[in-house]
């Protein structure tokens, strides 16, 4: 792709050349190379950015080098619904506007998580019906507010425990303890109803430890299989991938996970990558250490580009000057840019991997329309599904072989039919309020119905 050097890029290139690290690729961006390959590469906007307390280089690099963004803390439950049913979207809106102005995709993080839940929710501990309505109202409101603007949500985050024999996280989770595991299924159904076009992910850490029997990754794959069989609208898994320099087998474990999810028709995204050195080691690190870090980053990028069902490569921070690794973990120096905003060897390694995988050979899991605005217009024209219920007869239009799934108000599957054309009888569904999802290829429509 040909591009003219913008003023900001010239300034940026100048800042990259100097003492310490320097990049051999100062005039090229990993964003452009990823985009040509139908992929997204991104990083967070740190909380300091939202508070206007970050160096100007941060945003300059951020909007030049990345094409997907996620808020470090500002779209979490405690930030968006600090008091019951009183929503605060100010900081999230700031990010969405920034993303729109600079052509970045937005990931929403996170809807149902045991951590960073507003404190008022614990007033309802153990009250199943109330917690279901609290979570539903939160998802309806937050996803509804950013409908069409947030491309993908981490619907459920970190719901699997850290046991050797993995299972659901059953303690210290207000959602699990009060509702049971059906909070996960319900969360996906509600999120899909609020924005049928958004991609919906299950996101967790330690998935990079491999698919051994009873592992977290194997447990997640089993759940994804169940969700797909039951028509629960999951489209992606996020592997956070907070690792250490010694974790050399993890890229190939991520490859194996991608392949397992490909069989289920689900995308795998790397959502929070960082590759840290032991805390306190920063002063002793030399060229070999940074080369080793770069090698691991490159292996992740190689896997990412070679697996056709991987879409986003997101790093949990831009600069070592602002990283949760130093603040909250026994780790340090895990990101692509050093504390002076100089690109580290890891940056060049990612660039080299992108260049070694020509665009013609990299498959994208996304429709062409995501990267090509003209195609967006023409696909919008063809996305005209509609449905209408009379008695128990659901008439459909705009599809020739649709899949119909009916969920009760708690998100449990109540009816399912495939290859529907014209109409379908909702046999055996008792009276009440339901959500119907109609799908044909990439087109999908959700609608509430009442069976009387
Ligand atoms: O980077 C986030 C940090 O600022 C917060 O204090 C912390 C609180 O839980 O969350 C960090 O982000 C986490 C993310 O939301 C989920 N996966 C682990 C991330 C690092 O802790």
Mean pLDDT by 10 residues, the chain (452 residues): 39 43 81 97 98 98 98 98 98 98 97 98 98 98 98 98 97 98 97 97 98 97 97 98 97 98 98 97 96 98 98 98 93 98 97 97 90 51 75 89 86 87 91 88 82 88
Is residue 74 lining ligand 1, measured as CB closer than 6 Å?
Answer: no
Is residue 72 lining ligand 1, measured as CB closer than 6 Å?
Answer: yes
- Ligand 1, pocket-test mutation among 324, 334, 335, most atoms within 8 A of CB: 324
User: pTM score, two decimals?
Assistant: 0.82
Token pair for 265: 């028709």
Smallest CA-to-CA distance from 239 within 263, 213, 274 is with 274
Is residue 77 lining ligand 1, measured as CB closer than 6 Å?
Answer: no
Active site residue 263: no
Instruction: Give me the half-sphere count of Cα atoms (radius 13 Å) on the Cβ side of residue 145.
Output: 18
- 72 alpha carbon to ligand 1 midpoint, in Å? 7
Beta carbons of 338 and 320 less than 8 angstroms apart: yes
- 272 alpha carbon to ligand 1 midpoint, in Å? 9
Smallest CA-to-CA distance from 158 within 120, 207, 123, 200 is with 207
How remote is the C-alpha of 439 from its chain's centroid? 22
Neighbours of 78 (CB within 10 A): 16
Token pair for 237: 């898994």
Residue nearest to atom 19 of ligand 1 (CA): 272
Instruction: Tell me how far apart the alpha carbons of residues 257 and 253 are, in angstroms, rounded to a whole number.
Output: 6
Residue nearest to atom 14 of ligand 1 (CA): 72
Ligand 1 atom nearest to 324, measured from its CA: 1
Query: Which residues, including other chains, have CB under 8 Å from residue 265's CB and lie 6 or more apart?
Result: 228
Query: DSSP for 35-86?
Result: HHTT-EEEEEE-HHHHTT-S-HHHHHHHHHH-SEEEESSTTSHHHH-SBTTB
Query: Would you state the pLDDT for residue 12?
Result: 45
Query: Would you state the pLDDT for residue 281?
Result: 95
Residue nearest to atom 21 of ligand 1 (CA): 324
Query: Which residues, including other chains, have CB under 8 Å from residue 131's CB and lie 6 or more apart?
Result: 121, 124, 174, 175, 178, 179, 183
- Ligand 1, pocket-test mutation among 160, 207, 238, 316, most atoms within 8 A of CB: 316
Neighbours of 336 (CB within 10 A): 29
Beta carbons of 412 and 185 less than 8 angstroms apart: yes
Ordered structural domains, the chain, with CATH: 8-379 (3.20.20.80), 386-451 (2.60.40.3080)
Token pair for 357: 């995988």
Q: Where do we find the tokens 């032991």?
A: 278
- Produce one character per residue of 347-385: b if its CB has 16 or more CB atoms within 10 Å, e if not: bbbbbbbbeebebeebebbbeeebbeeeeeeebeeeeeb
- 155 alpha carbon to ligand 1 midpoint, in Å? 16
- 316 alpha carbon to ligand 1 midpoint, in Å? 9
**Residue 261, SS3 per DSSP:** helix
Q: How many residues are there in the chain?
A: 452
Instruction: Give the N- to C-terminal CA distance of the chain in Å, as an integer.
Output: 57
Active site residue 272: yes
Instruction: Tell me how far apart the alpha carbons of residues 292 and 429 are, in angstroms, rounded to a whole number.
Output: 59
Query: Would you state the pLDDT for residue 14?
Result: 37
Instruction: Give me the half-sphere count of Cα atoms (radius 13 Å) on the Cβ side of residue 216.
Output: 22
Is residue 272 lining ligand 1, measured as CB closer than 6 Å?
Answer: yes
Q: Which of 57, 72, 272, 312 is catalytic?
A: 272
Smallest CA-to-CA distance from 192 within 135, 131, 235 is with 235
């Amino acid at each position: 792709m040909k591009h003219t050097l913008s003023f900001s890029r010239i300034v940026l290139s100048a800042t990259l050349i100097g003492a310490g690290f320097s990049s051999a690729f100062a005039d090229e961006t990993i964003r452009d190379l990823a985009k040509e390959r139908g992929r997204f590469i991104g990083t967070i906007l740190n909380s300091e950015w939202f508070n206007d307390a970050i160096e100007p280089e941060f945003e300059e690099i951020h909007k030049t080098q990345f094409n997907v963004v996620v808020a470090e803390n500002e779209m979490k439950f405690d930030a968006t619904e600090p008091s019951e049913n009183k929503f605060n979207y100010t900081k999230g809106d700031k990010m969405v506007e920034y993303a729109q102005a600079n052509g970045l995709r937005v990931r929403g993080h996170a809807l149902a998580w045991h951590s960073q839940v507003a404190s008022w929710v614990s007033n309802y501990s153990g009250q199943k019906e109330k917690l279901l309505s609290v979570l539903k109202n939160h998802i309806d409101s937050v996803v509804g507010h950013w409908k069409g603007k947030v491309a993908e949500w981490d619907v459920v985050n970190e719901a699997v425990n850290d046991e050797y024999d993995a299972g659901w996280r059953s303690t210290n989770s207000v959602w699990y303890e009060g509702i049971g595991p059906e909070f996960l299924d319900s969360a996906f159904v509600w999120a899909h109803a609020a924005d049928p076009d958004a991609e919906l992910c299950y996101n967790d850490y330690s998935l990079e430890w491999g698919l051994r029997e009873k592992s977290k990754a194997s447990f997640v794959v089993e759940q994804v299989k169940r969700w797909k069989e039951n028509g629960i609208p999951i489209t992606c898994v996020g592997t956070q991938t907070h690792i250490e320099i010694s974790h050399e087998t993890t890229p190939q474990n991520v490859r194996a996970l991608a392949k397992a999810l490909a069989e289920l028709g689900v995308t795998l995204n790397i959502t929070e990558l960082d590759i840290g050195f032991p805390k306190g080691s920063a002063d002793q690190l030399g060229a070999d250490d940074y080369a080793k870090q770069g090698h691991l980053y490159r292996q992740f990028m190689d896997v990412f580009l070679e697996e056709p069902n991987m879409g986003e490569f997101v790093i949990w921070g831009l600069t070592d000057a602002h990283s949760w690794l130093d603040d909250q973990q026994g780790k340090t120096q895990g990101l692509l840019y050093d504390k002076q905003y100089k690109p580290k060897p890891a940056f060049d390694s990612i660039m080299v991997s992108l260049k070694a995988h020509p665009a013609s050979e990299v498959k994208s899991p996304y429709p062409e329309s995501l990267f090509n605005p003209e195609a967006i217009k023409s696909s919008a024209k063809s996305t005209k599904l509609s449905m209408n219920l009379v008695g128990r007869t659901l008439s459909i239009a705009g599809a020739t072989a649709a899949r119909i799934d009916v969920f009760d108000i708690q998100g449990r599957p109540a009816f399912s039919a495939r290859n529907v054309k014209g109409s379908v009888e909702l046999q055996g569904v008792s009276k009440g309020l339901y959500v119907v999802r109609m799908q044909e290829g990439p087109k999908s429509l959700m609608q509430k119905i009442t069976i009387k």
